[in-house]
Each structure stands twice: as C-alpha cells, then as structure tokens.
C-alpha cells in the first residue's frame, strides 16, 4: 500500500487543486457566512443529500476573469465559479422511500456574492441538460446577487449575454421534473428568476428576493434601499411569492426533503389519528366557523402535512398530505377567512395547485365548505370573472382524479369549482351529515327568490317569520341526506370512514402524470 510520499504527481496535483474548494481551507470566507448566521453552500448540500452520495461536476471552473486577475487568484477566490453542481440521493435513509437521485445546484455567496457568471451559466445549462436526460428532480439553492458584470473574458463574444439559454431551459422543465428553489439571504435579478420559475419556493425568514438588487435600483434612479427592504420574505409569504417560509437554512433543507418525498411514491409505514374525532370538528350550528386544520391533521397520516402558500389567500388551504402512505394534494376552504368563499387570490392558488398535482400524477383531495365565489364591486375590481374561471379551465383538463368531501356548505359555482367543475366531475363526491347544498347561499336564495312575498308582508315580525320559514324549507331540501336522494352527489357518510373512501378512490385508478407546464403564479 502506497503512502502519501509515493503519491503520483498528477493525482497529487489534482488533490491540491480541489483542496481550494473545501470549506476548511476557506476560513475567512466561511467565517463571514457564520457571522451572518448562515451556512455555507456545501453545508446545505451535505445536509440535503444522503451521506457520501453527492457527486460533484464542474468543480474546477473559475470566474471568467483571466484578463484581469491571475490564475492563482481565481483558483483561490473564485472556486467552482460560485456555483456548486452535482447529483446526490435524497430521502433514501430516513424517509423509507425508494432512492431518489436529484440534480443539486447551489450558488455560493462566498464567491462574488453568488452572482451568475459566464462559466457558471454554462455549468447551470449543463446541469439542466443532465436533469432533463435522466428525469432528475432539481433542488436549486438560489441565493445570490444576479448577473455578474465583471467577467471580462467573455466581452469579446458577448454584448449583454442575452442569448444565455439558462432561463428558458430551466422553464422548459416545468411539469417534467420537480423543481425546488431554496433561498436564504439575498436573492436578486437572475437568481430571483430561477427561484420564481421553480415549482415551489422555500425561503428563510431573513431572505430578501427581488427582480433587482440595491445597485440596479439605484442605477435606475429609483432610490437607495438596503437589501433587506427589497422583497423581504415576510411580505413575499403574504403575497404568494414564497410557498414555504421557515426559520433558517436547516429548516429550509428539511422542508425541501419533505416536499420532494411526495413525488417519491407511497410510504410503507404510517400512523393514523383516531378517526372518530372527525365527527365532532364541524359544529352543529351551521353559522359557526371551525379550524379546518383540525380536520386536515386528523384525516391525514400523522406528520404528513406540508402546507403550501400558507401566508396567501388563507380562505383556501393547499397542502400535500398522505393517506395510508399514499401522497395526495389537498385543497380545502377555511371558514375562518371570508367564510371559506373563493376570491381571486384563492382561485389562482387553487388553479396552480391543481396544475402542480396533475403534472406529477398526484391525486387531489378537495375538502369543500364553499359558500360560493366572492361577489360585489370590490371583488369584481380584482378581476374575479377571469380569476375564478381558472379553476374551471384547469379542472376540465386534469388527468388525475379529484376526490371531493363536502364538510358543510356546497353552494353555487364555488362548490362546483372545488370539485373540478361539477359534483360529478370528481371520481366521487361524498358529504358528511353536516353537508348542505344549493345553487347559491340559502339566505341569498330566499331574499332573491321570495322577494315579492317578503315585500308584500308589511308586519316586520311576520316578515321575519316568513323569511325563517322559507329558509328552513330550503335548508331541509338541501341538507345532505335530503340532497343525496337526487343523486347530485354520491353518498352521505359517517366522517370516520372518509379515509376508507379516499383509499378506495386511489386504488381504483391507474394514475398517470400529465407532465404539462405549471404556471409560475
């Protein structure tokens, strides 16, 4: 066995060259990350990938600045040109799922602020090509300052670099492979475009994401701002840009692993809550709101819920869950916000989520408690006519099945949209005993349909009694057991058997992915 002194010179030269990539040999740059409470790019990758499974490529690249810096300087200070790429396994150890190879890319903020250099664009394009060829999911750590103007080596063959294929090639993978963006720290311009083009954007509380950083904004004469003022994560979580907001990079990596797990198939082992609890969550008083998350977490396998866009359009919840180990996409009305009615933001949120599930062959579970679409001048100013219609357009094109469970209200177009366009568009539509059905909200139906009768009664007490009489008649006709007699939906069930219906639905289908494009919004 040879010792170090017997090392071949070519092998030793390679090892010496690659030593400049290691965090332990970059103490000053690493310490700057730690001073900001952040991890290095390689630490995030080590956390993400199963131990020893990450195979890096393109590591010997340096910045395209040979015309202005020495090679020794570039090797030392621009390792990998600020972009680490490679293939690793994710979730193969602790998630009890089939092995999943992933393409992993990470801009390295310790190298020229994680900017997109000429060579690292080339490396990104190569990684995208490899991911497309092998159908590899992509996990992209996108932190960085955008385009890099200092790469002088390419000035003779590029004017503005506007022929770079990175963005369109990454976009072409929409619906083909899962694409996950993770952002901690500052993410501007081209880096932000990568994040915004991804299927899901996971960000930390200290992240700032924007289409231009401070220098670009100031250069355009638009004022001077600190990076933290440009697209702070708390604002972007509320407006729907960020899907999952977490405390730090460690939590972001865990969220990325959990998100990816739903695309890796069925889990063999799972635990279930006591399903009898479902009987008591929806109040008997039909006017009382309730916590939809109690329904979701009781119905789903334990610890299997991952909510998406939780800060945005809170009247409609979207999440990935598991039932008997099977992954599902879930959308549900939340009565604690707008009474569960669907506005423009909620319609957009639901439509894109349905696209995401359909692209990758994940069936959809809809928990319906919808009094309808929001109406009135305020909401029409927000283009309700167009936004609400997205749910019907997407629902009509789905290849995955929808399973609809009416928890309480199923009124009008909003309820139809929650079921994919019609209560018969779902593979099954079932109701709990608290379910109630109608072409519109009962109160509105009485006021509109019996207006002449109500106006003809001049005595206020008698008019109220007449109103209550009409309302009760409509409710009796539309409550679940009565409405079921018209076969407008399939069955009324004891809530504790909901999981059984869902499993039957999943196992009755040979579910295929559509691989269609997913809207960025």
**Pairwise CA distance, residues 474 & 270, whole Å:** 43
- Asked if 364 and 357 count as a contact pair (C-beta separation under 8 A), the reply is yes
Q: Which two tokens stand for residue 412?
A: 């009008």
3-state per-residue secondary structure call for 373-391: ECCCHHHHCCCHHHHHHHH
C-alpha dihedral over 89, 255, 238, 214, to 10 degrees? Answer: -60
Give yes or no on whether 7-261 and 275-435+479-507 have one common fold: yes
What's the CATH architecture for 7-261? Alpha-Beta Complex (3.90)
- Asked if 230 and 217 count as a contact pair (C-beta separation under 8 A), the reply is yes
- Looking at the DSSP bridge assignments, the partners of residue 102 are 88
pLDDT tens, residue by residue, 189-235: 999 999 999 999 999 999 999 999 988 888 889 999 999 999 999 99
- Asked if 85 and 58 count as a contact pair (C-beta separation under 8 A), the reply is yes
Each domain of the chain, given as residue ranges in start order, spans 7-261, 275-435+479-507
- Looking at the DSSP bridge assignments, the partners of residue 200 are 180
Record the pTM.
0.94
pLDDT tens, residue by residue, 391-403: 999 999 999 999 9
Phi and psi, residue 108, nearest 5°: -110, 105
Phi and psi, residue 317, nearest 5°: -95, 135
Select from 405, 390, 389, 373 the least CA-distant residue to 292.
Answer: 405
Give pLDDT, residue 83: 97
**CATH homologous superfamily of domain 275-435+479-507?**
2-enoyl-CoA Hydratase; Chain A, domain 1 (3.90.226.10)
Output the furthest CA–CA distance in the chain (Å, rounded). Answer: 107
3-state per-residue secondary structure call for 437-466: EECCCHHHHHHHHCHHHHHHCCCHHHHHHH
DSSP letter assigned to residue 65: -
- Asked if 107 and 191 count as a contact pair (C-beta separation under 8 A), the reply is yes
Can you give the pLDDT of all 521 residues of the chain as single tens digits? 455 567 889 999 999 999 999 999 999 999 999 999 999 999 999 999 999 999 999 999 999 899 899 999 999 999 999 999 999 999 986 667 778 999 999 999 999 999 998 899 999 999 999 999 999 999 999 999 998 888 888 776 666 678 899 999 999 999 999 999 999 999 999 999 999 999 999 999 999 999 999 888 888 899 999 999 999 999 999 999 999 999 999 999 999 999 999 999 999 899 999 999 999 999 999 889 999 999 999 999 999 999 999 999 999 999 999 999 999 999 999 999 999 999 999 999 999 999 999 999 999 999 999 999 998 899 999 999 999 999 999 999 999 999 999 999 999 999 999 999 999 999 999 999 999 998 777 777 777 777 878 778 778 887 888 787 877 777 777 799 988 988 999 999 999 999 999 999 999 999 999 999 999 99
Burial class (CB in 10 A: 0-12, 13-18, 19+), 90: buried
Provide the sign of the torsion angle of the four alpha carbons 213, 214, 219, 221, taken in this order.
positive
Residue with tokens 């680490």: 84
Nearest-10 crossing angle of helices 344-359, 384-397: 20
């Amino acid at each position: 066995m040879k010792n170090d002194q017997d090392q071949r010179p070519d092998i030793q030269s390679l090892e010496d060259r690659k030593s400049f990539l290691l965090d332990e040999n970059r103490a000053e740059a690493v310490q700057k990350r730690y001073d900001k409470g952040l991890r290095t790019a390689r630490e995030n990758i080590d956390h993400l990938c199963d131990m020893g499974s990450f195979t890096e490529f393109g590591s010997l690249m340096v910045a395209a600045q040979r015309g202005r810096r020495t090679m020794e300087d570039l090797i030392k200070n621009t390792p990998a040109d600020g972009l680490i790429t490679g293939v690793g396994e994710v979730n193969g150890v602790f998630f009890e799922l089939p092995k999943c190879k992933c393409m992993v890319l990470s801009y390295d903020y310790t190298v020229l602020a994680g900017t997109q250099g000429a060579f690292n664009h080339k490396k990104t394009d190569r990684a995208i090509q490899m991911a497309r060829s092998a159908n590899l999911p992509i996990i992209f750590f996108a932190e960085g300052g955008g385009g890099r103007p200092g790469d002088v080596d390419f000035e003779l063959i590029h004017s503005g670099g506007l022929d770079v294929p990175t963005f369109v090639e990454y976009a072409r993978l929409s619906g083909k492979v899962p694409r996950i963006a993770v952002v901690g720290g500052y993410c501007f311009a081209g880096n932000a475009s990568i994040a915004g083009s991804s299927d899901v954007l996971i960000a930390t509380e200290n992240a700032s994401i924007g289409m231009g950083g401070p220098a670009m904004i100031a250069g355009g004469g638009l004022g001077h701002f600190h990076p933290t003022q440009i697209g702070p994560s708390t604002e972007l979580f509320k407006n729907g840009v960020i899907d999952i907001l977490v405390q730090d990079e460690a939590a972001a990596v865990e969220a990325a692993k959990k998100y990816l797990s739903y695309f890796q198939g069925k889990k063999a082992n799972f635990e279930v809550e006591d399903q009898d609890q479902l009987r008591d969550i929806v109040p008997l008083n039909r006017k009382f709101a309730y916590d939809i998350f109690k329904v979701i977490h009781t119905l789903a396998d334990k610890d299997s819920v991952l909510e998406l866009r939780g800060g945005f359009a809170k009247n409609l919840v979207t999440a990935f869950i598991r039932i008997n180990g099977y992954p599902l996409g879930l959308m549900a009305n939340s009565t604690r916000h707008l009474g569960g009615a669907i506005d423009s933001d909620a319609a957009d949120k639901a439509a894109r989520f349905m696209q995401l599930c359909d692209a990758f062959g994940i069936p959809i579970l809809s928990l319906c408690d919808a009094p309808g679409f929001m109406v009135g001048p305020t909401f029409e100013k927000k283009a309700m006519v167009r936004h609400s219609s997205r749910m019907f357009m997407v629902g009509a094109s789905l290849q995955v099945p929808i399973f609809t469970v009416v928890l309480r209200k199923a009124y009008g177009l909003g309820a139809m949209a929650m079921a994919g366009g019609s209560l018969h568009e779902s593979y099954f539509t079932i109701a709990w005993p608290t379910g109630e059905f109608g072409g519109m909200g009962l109160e509105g139906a009485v006021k509109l349909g019996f207006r002449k009768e109500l106006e003809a009664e001049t005595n206020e007490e008698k008019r109220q009694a007449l109103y209550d009489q009409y309302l009760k008649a409509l409710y009796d006709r539309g409550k679940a057991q009565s409405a079921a007699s018209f076969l407008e939906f399939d069955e009324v069930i004891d809530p504790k058997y909901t999981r059984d219906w869902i499993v039957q639905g999943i196992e009755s289908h040979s579910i295929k992915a559509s691989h269609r494009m997913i809207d960025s919004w």
